[in-house]
Structure 1
Amino acid sequence: MSSLRLPDGFTDVFVSRFVQLDGLRLHAVTGGDGPPLLLVGGWPQTWYAWREVMPALAREHTVVAVDSRGAGLSGKPDDGYDAGTLAADLVALMAALGHDRFDVVGHDIGMWTGYALAADHPERVGRLVVVDAVIPGLTPIPSVFSPAAVNQRLWHFGFNRLTDLNEELVRGREHLFFGHQFATKAATPIPAYAVDVYVDAIVADPRGLRASFAYYRALDETIAQNEQRKETRLTLPVLAVGGARYSGALVADTMRLAADDVTGVVIDDCGHYVAEEQPARFIEILRDFLGGRSASELPAR
């Protein structure tokens, strides 16, 4: 982590580590003391997306910020990018770290994984926080001829699912393609050095670009799983956080289709990348929820 720009004192608390599972190596950054808290990032990011909130959370939690299969320094096998397999990976990771029960915060495709974790492994997850995304197979499918503003947010779903052409078009232009994602989804610009960390992690591994699209190529499987998952409603407390200038209340609306105890929070002046755009506000919200109050008791903001 010495080459990364990090908050003061970060490396005094956190360590980078690899955990070897059955045929898969996962990378995580861990630190802190208290009840375990798993942070699951989104596309096309790594554990680094949580850097601004991790020190505060580590004062009250043992924090595990993971690179999921296919991301960052974790292994990039040819398959296993459906939400169910990603969730099973993280149950195995947390067990290997000595955590049989834990809370989960998932952003973007990490929200898909977080939902699968809570649904498939209810005995493992205490509280679930989902951040600024929709869930394929749960959220109603938008029309092909959606308004331009909706298409601007969601066009990458179709592009990323292509078999080969997307890789051919993006290879050598990764900073253009992924940089556009960050530039158009954030209300407060993500620092250039952070965008470089995410894009360079994809470029550095010859399997990185393929793996970055693999989550979307597995969507048929993930959708089929979620259509089964939603038959059994979640009963654990769920906090659904959206950026006012991106997904907003749609995050909570999505989770209410699958869970009974949901509180929605919409953060003003915020786009898709809540933990980086509004870290102080996000920390406050997480502390309230993770501190023991049920979602139904937590005042919406």
Structure 2
Amino acid sequence: MDGFPALDGVTHRFVEVPGLRMHVAEAGSGPPVLLLHGFPQHWWEWRKVVPGLADGHRVLCPDLRGAGWTAAPAGGYTREQLLADVVALLDALDLDRVDLVTHDYGAILGFALCLEHPDCVGSHVTFGAGHPFVRFHPRMLGVLWRLWFQEVIATPGLGPWTLRSGRLPRHLLVSPTVPDAWTEQDLELFVAPLRDPARARAGSALYRNVILGEVARISRGAYRDAHLTTPTVVLYGADDPAGLPLELLGGHEDRADDLRQELVPGAGHFVADERPDAVVDHARALFASRG
């Protein structure tokens, strides 16, 4: 890939963790905040969020395994390995505790970090995936058809081919969003890495093992005995075509000490791109409330 896109105040470094060379974009100073992106994005997802959070915080935006400027090895695209990458990154950066902002499969990792390493996380703002305690309701079946692309991407052979073509990732980015959320440069920055066969295979494995794997874990009741102690705000884009009413997204009441859910008007799945002000405002409010 070419050089990094420019964003005022942001510096870049590469961090070696076991079996992986990770790219991290960094800005600001103060209490550390870790931002974990979703698919098909990388650190540039946070371009509109970083300026608001970097005023008073040290903002760290890694590219996860196989994404952006981080290496794309042949394997390791599992929930357990990606979580281990994040934990190793915190250790390499000598960070004992961070606040979290996460999206999509980054949210899966964020909740895993909160549940399995609760001492590492102060608070968590997340969007694009929901919480892991949700219980099945028949009305959820009405939106499943909108997620047809998940099985396509997860299918070996077919998934990498559709990602390399660029059409499907571009469709995922632009179809559910507000018209002015993206520039053509933004879209190209997200689509271009997937033209690399290794990164296309990584994206397919990610969907197969992590995203659909998490759906299976929740369906099997993997979190039935889990308890979340991290103060958490879950945001949902009010205009997400695959969104569900908040009344169907309970199940956390006896599983979390402090979990609040909010709708964000004027946003779909990509809240950081569509309503970065809402992400920044919720994050700063949550961080301040526990400070």
Q: 3-state DSSP class of the match of 2:13?
A: strand
Select the residue among 182, 186, 191 that pairs with 1:190: 182
Contact 1:104 1:127 in 2 (8 A): yes
Is residue 125–residue 282 contact of structure 2 (8 Å, CA) maintained in 1? no
**Could you tell me which of 2, 19, 22 is aligned with 1:23?**
19
Displacement of 1:252 after TM fit?
9.4
Whole-angstrom CA distance in 2 between matches of 1:112 and 1:181: 19
Distance 1:80 1:186 in 2: 31
Residues 122/18 of structure 1: CA separation in 2 closer, same or farther (3 Å cut): same
1:88-237 matches, cutoff 5 A: 88-134=84-130, 138-140=133-135, 146-147=141-142, 149-152=143-146, 154-171=147-164, 173-174=165-166, 176-188=167-179, 189-203=181-195, 205-219=196-210, 222=214, 227-237=221-231
C-alpha separation between the residues in 1 aligned to 2:250 and 2:271?
18
**2:77 matched residue in structure 1:** 81
Q: Which segment is superposed worse, 242-251 or 159-168?
A: 242-251
Number of the residue aligned with 1:298: none
- How far is 1:66 from its partner? 1.0
CA distance in 2, matches of 1:60, 1:85: 31
Shift in CA distance, 3/232, structure 1 to aligned 2, threshold 3 Å: closer
1:216–1:139: structure 2 CA closer, same or farther, 3 Å change rule? farther
Return 248-257 or 70-79, whichever deviates more.
248-257
**Distance 1:43-1:201 versus aligned 2 partners, 3 A rule:** same
Larger relative contact order (Cα-Cα within 8 Å, sequence gap ≥ 6):
2
Q: 2:236 aligns with which of 237, 242, 247?
A: 242
Corresponding residue SS for 1:64: strand
Distance 2:209 2:111 in 1: 16
Taking the TM superposition and a 5 Å limit, the aligned residue runs for 1:64-75 are 64-75=60-71
What is the deviation of 1:185?
2.1
How far apart in 2 are the matches of 1:285 and 1:157?
A: 29
Q: Do the aligned residues in 2 keep the contact of 1:76 with 1:208 (CA within 8 Å)? A: yes
Task: State the Cα deviation string for residues 228-253 of structure 1 (Å, max 9, x = none).
Answer: 34412101101111110113655992
TM-score normalised by length of structure 1: 0.84
Please name the residue that 2:288 is paired with: 291
Could you tell me which amino acid in structure 2 is paired with residue 128 of structure 1?
Answer: H
Contact in 2 for aligned 1:72/1:202 (Cα 8 Å):
no
Q: Relative to structure 1, is the Cα distance of residues 53 and 108 closer, same or farther in structure 2, using a 3 angstrom cutoff?
A: same
Counterparts of 1:278 and 1:134 in 2: how far apart (Å)? 17
Structure 1 position 113, deviation (Å): 0.8
Q: Are residue 4 (structure 1) and residue 5 (structure 2) matched? A: yes
Q: Structure 2: where are the runs of 5+ without partners?
A: none
In structure 2, relative to structure 1, the CA distance for the partners of 1:86 and 1:169 (3 Å cut) is closer
Aligned-pair CA distance for 1:279: 1.5
CA separation in 2, counterparts of 1:260 and 1:252?
19
One-letter identity of the residue aligned with 1:156: F
Q: Is the 8 A contact 1:251 1:264 kept in 2?
A: no
Query: Which residue identity lines up with residue 160 of structure 1 in the other structure?
Result: I
Give the SS at the match of 2:222: helix
Q: Which amino acid aligns with 1:199?
A: V
Return the alpha-carbon distance in structure 1 between the equivalents of residues 13 and 91 of structure 2: 15
In the other structure, the counterpart of 1:261 is: 258
Aligned-residue CA RMSD (Å):
2.7
Gap runs ≥5 in structure 1: 295-301
TM-score by length of 2: 0.87
Q: Distance in 1 between matches of 2:113 and 2:250?
A: 16
Q: Counterparts of 1:162 and 1:237 in 2: how far apart (Å)?
A: 36
Structure 1, residues 186-241: CA drift from partner, whole Å, max 9, x if none?
A: 134422211110001222x3311111111112146545665434412101101111
Give 1:271's aligned residue. Answer: 268
Identical counterparts, % of pairs: 32
Instruction: Give the 3-state SS of the residue equivalent to 1:284 in structure 2.
Output: helix
Tell me how far apart the structure 1 counterparts of residues 251 and 258 of structure 2 sit (CA, whole Å).
9
